[in-house]
Amino acid sequence: MAVLHPRRVAWEGARIFVFAANTDAYWWLSDTVGHYLGPMYQLQLCETRLRLQAEEDAVYAEAGAWRARLDALLDTRPDTASILTQMISETSARLPSL
């Protein structure tokens, strides 16, 4: 089993979540986030999508916000690292080329 570095997982998650928020993969990711992480994270993903649609330059701010959220999640619930890693991988496979 590979060792999961929490900060790397948070960074990759933030990058992928923000990119996916403005694609068709959003719908799948939103349901998955709601199921595994809870409705508050699902709502935050929806807010990210809305901000990205309103402001093109919101990408960096949203990525930073998601990195902080996921860092905090991994600090309080380290058991979520494996599910986040799986979500990142599955979401990446649903995205157009990065």
Residue percentage of the chain with pLDDT more than 70? 95
Give which of 35, 87, 97 is closest to 66, Cα–Cα: 87
Q: Indicate the domain borders of the chain.
A: 7-88
Q: Residue 39 is encoded by which pair of tokens?
A: 């409705």
- Mean pLDDT for 9-22 is 96
Query: What is the pLDDT confidence band of residue 9, given thresholds at 50, 70 and 90?
Result: very high
Exposed / middle / buried, residue 54 (Cβ in 10 Å: 0-12, 13-18, 19+): exposed
- Residue 39 pLDDT level (bands cut at 50, 70, 90): very high
Total-model pTM: 0.91
Q: Give, in order, the Cα–Cα distances in Å from 75 to each of 7, 9, 11, 43.
A: 10, 12, 14, 21
* φ, ψ of residue 96 in degrees (nearest 5): -65, 165
CA 66, CA 18: separation in Å to the nearest integer? 8
pLDDT digits (tens, 9 = 90+) for 50-82: 999 999 899 999 999 999 999 999 999 999 999
